[in-house]
């Protein structure tokens, strides 16, 4: 039935999560399903709803384009997952849904490198407040204190110098990386502004090769109140570098996320189980810091204003403010089907309070797979066998795609253990399975439900 659309509803959706959580793959699959919509394979809204008149739109000014065509092409023709994200980007499109009578949709999706989330605590803090925030964490967290020993020693000397403090902090960050701790700030130590990522090597080599700031000569490290008082010139120098870093690296993406209406928060439950309790703790802390600065939710008065603005204002002026958050446990195909419900329980136990504690925020929990790339092995239930094309050989190194093989995955626990070490659980990565036909999007699980929830 042809529809007469009186208005456009603009939905800005930020997708966040640690590095390697599955953000870019999720966005690629989502756009592919919208572009080639099939109501049976991607059921949206009321039964039979279809997407019409899909058209990509250029990104907002100042935003690099999300490389959807390149990622989709790499998946289909080279059997490769999208490359690691090195810079923030945005994908915008416009479409109609047959279950929306009066409005079409302008959907804006934001992607960013997961490393950057660790810098969220810089927003709204000056250098002294950020230093206290980081040092407070170091004092109260034993694994952090252990990794940060070289840095704490440099701060404690009677005449701390810029070189000694920076070297100590960079050694500490290197130790944290090697202990699978993702809370690395400034995040350019892991992924610099040109997109070059830290490679595995010794703490000393990492500390020499990597930069804690915008570039060599603009590095900074947190300083204790005692050192700030004893060395005011050094504190002023680091504070100026910190402010520049915040303005160039942190504010652009956090302001964009703040202007979103919804967030998709990916929590890679299997990566956290495989990475050990330190990775779990850091992911929780990073999300807590992020929620503090984004401040999702709204007051009853803001709800009234938002509804009025949606009716009265043109879509480009629709006020921002995050009122919906979809927490998603991704890569569901890497878990044995008999354990898939556990991913939801684990997700809720880990991040449920983040949402509960916010007024005027609607949150929902999903488990999903953006590109289903495994199959069940008949008869393999008890032993948790899956079938797929392994991404790594027995030595842990990446191998070229070969034949399908069976492999075992760990049983998912009913709840997070009190403690666990890296490698105690294993969910091997696989090559993507995707139809070669260009207009046939990948098989997915629950992605349409996530989209339905965040687009309103
Ligand atoms: N089996 C399976 N693997 C997935 C799926 N989604 C992501 N992956 C795996 O997760 C890896 C990382 O996915 P990305 O989407 O690049 O992760 P990201 O969150 O964008 O990571 P950064 O760009 O580093 O922030 C991929 O290379 C795949 O190995 C999925 O739906 N199924
Ligand atoms: Mg990415």
Residue 1 lies in a domain: no
Total domains present in the chain:
2
Q: Which of 251, 281, 297 is the last residue of a domain?
A: 251
Judge if the beta carbon of residue 220 lies within 6 A of ligand 1: no
Residue 221 shares a structural domain with residue 127: yes
| CA-wise closest residue to 138 among 120, 127, 126, 152 | 152
| CA-wise closest residue to 119 among 23, 19, 251, 13 | 251
DSSP state of 338: G
What is the C-alpha to C-alpha distance for residues 78 and 201, in angstroms, rounded to an integer?
A: 29
pLDDT at 9: 87
Judge if the beta carbon of residue 87 lies within 6 A of ligand 1: no
Judge if the beta carbon of residue 19 lies within 6 A of ligand 1: yes
Structural domain that includes position 27: 7-112+260-373+449-454
pTM equals 0.93
Please classify residue 284 by burial: count the beta carbons closer than 10 Å to its beta carbon, then call 0-12 exposed, 13-18 middle and 19+ buried: middle
Answer left, alpha or beta for residue 138, where phi above 0 means left and psi between -120 and 50 means alpha. alpha
Q: Looking at the CA of 113, name the nearest ligand.
A: 1
Residue 424 lies in a domain: no
Residue 287 shares a structural domain with residue 217: no
Find the 191 Cα to ligand 2 centroid distance in Å: 12
Q: Is the peptide bond before 186 cis (omega within 30 degrees of 0)?
A: yes
pLDDT at 320: 72
CATH number of the domain encompassing residue 317: 3.40.50.300
Residue 62 shares a structural domain with residue 79: yes
pLDDT at 1: 46
Residue 319 lies in a domain: yes
Judge if the beta carbon of residue 332 lies within 6 A of ligand 1: no
Residue 127 shares a structural domain with residue 238: yes
| CA-wise closest residue to 290 among 163, 411, 450, 116 | 116
Residue 301 shares a structural domain with residue 189: no
pLDDT tens digits, 228-266? 999 999 999 999 999 999 999 999 999 999 999 999 999
Strand order in the sheet with 324-329: 51-57, 89-97, 103-111, 7-16, 262-266, 324-329, 362-367
Residue 394 lies in a domain: no
Residue 234 shares a structural domain with residue 286: no
Pick the atom of ligand 1 nearest to 113's CA: 25
Residue 170 shares a structural domain with residue 67: no
Find the 21 Cα to ligand 1 centroid distance in Å: 6
Judge if the beta carbon of residue 84 lies within 6 A of ligand 1: yes
Residue 242 shares a structural domain with residue 282: no
Residue 408 lies in a domain: no
Residue 135 shares a structural domain with residue 227: yes
Pick the atom of ligand 1 nearest to 374's CA: 1
Q: Which of 221, 251, 281 is the last residue of a domain?
A: 251
Q: Looking at the CA of 81, name the nearest ligand.
A: 1
How many other β-carbons are positioned within 10 Å of the β-carbon of residue 1?
4
Residue 271 shares a structural domain with residue 334: yes
Judge if the beta carbon of residue 283 lies within 6 A of ligand 1: no
pLDDT < 70 stretches in the chain: 1-5, 315, 317, 380-381
Q: Looking at the CA of 25, name the nearest ligand.
A: 1
């Amino acid at each position: 039935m042809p529809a007469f659309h009186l208005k456009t509803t603009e939905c800005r959706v930020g997708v966040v999560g640690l590095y390697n959580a599955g953000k870019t793959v999720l966005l690629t699959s989502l756009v592919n399903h919208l572009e080639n919509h099939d109501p049976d394979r991607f059921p949206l809204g009321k039964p039979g709803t279809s997407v019409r008149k899909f058209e990509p739109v250029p990104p907002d000014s100042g935003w690099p384009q999300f490389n959807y065509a390149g990622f989709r092409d790499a998946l289909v023709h080279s059997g490769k997952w999208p490359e690691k994200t090195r810079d923030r980007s945005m994908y915008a499109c416009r479409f109609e849904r047959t279950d929306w009578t009066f409005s079409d949709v302008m959907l804006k999706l934001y992607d960013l490198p997961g490393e950057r989330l660790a810098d969220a605590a810089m927003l709204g803090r000056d250098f002294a407040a950020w230093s206290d925030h980081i040092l407070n964490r170091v004092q109260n967290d034993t694994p952090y204190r252990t990794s940060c020993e070289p840095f704490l020693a440099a701060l404690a000397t009677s005449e701390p110098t810029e070189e000694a403090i920076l070297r100590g902090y960079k050694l500490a960050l290197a130790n944290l990386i090697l202990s699978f701790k993702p809370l690395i700030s400034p995040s350019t130590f892991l992924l610099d502004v040109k997109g070059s990522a830290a490679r595995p090597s010794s703490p000393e080599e990492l500390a020499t090769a990597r930069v804690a700031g915008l570039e060599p000569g603009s590095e900074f490290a947190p300083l204790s109140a005692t050192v700030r008082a004893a060395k005011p010139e050094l504190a002023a120098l680091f504070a100026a570098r910190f402010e520049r870093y915040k303005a160039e690296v942190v504010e652009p993406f956090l302001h964009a996320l703040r202007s979103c209406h919804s967030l998709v928060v990916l929590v890679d439950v299997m990566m956290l189980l495989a990475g050990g309790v330190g990775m779990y703790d850091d992911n929780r802390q990073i999300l807590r810091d992020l929620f503090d600065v984004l401040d999702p939710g709204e007051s009853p008065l803001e709800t009234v204003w938002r509804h009025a603005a949606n009716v009265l204002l043109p879509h480009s002026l629709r006020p921002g403010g995050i009122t919906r958050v979809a927490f998603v446990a991704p890569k569901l195909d890497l878990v044995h089907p008999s354990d898939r419900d556990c991913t939801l329980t684990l997700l809720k136990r880990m991040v449920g309070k983040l949402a509960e504690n916010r007024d005027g925020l609607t949150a929902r929990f999903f488990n999903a797979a953006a590109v289903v790339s495994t199959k069940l092995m008949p008869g393999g239930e008890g032993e948790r066998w899956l079938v797929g094309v392994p991404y790594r050989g027995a030595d842990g190194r990446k191998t070229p795609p070969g034949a399908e093989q069976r492999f075992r995955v760990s049983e998912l626990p009913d709840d997070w253990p009190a403690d666990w070490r890296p490698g105690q659980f294993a969910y091997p990565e696989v090559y993507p399975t995707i139809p070669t036909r260009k207009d046939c999007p990948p098989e997915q699980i629950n992605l349409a439900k996530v989209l339905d929830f965040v687009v309103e």
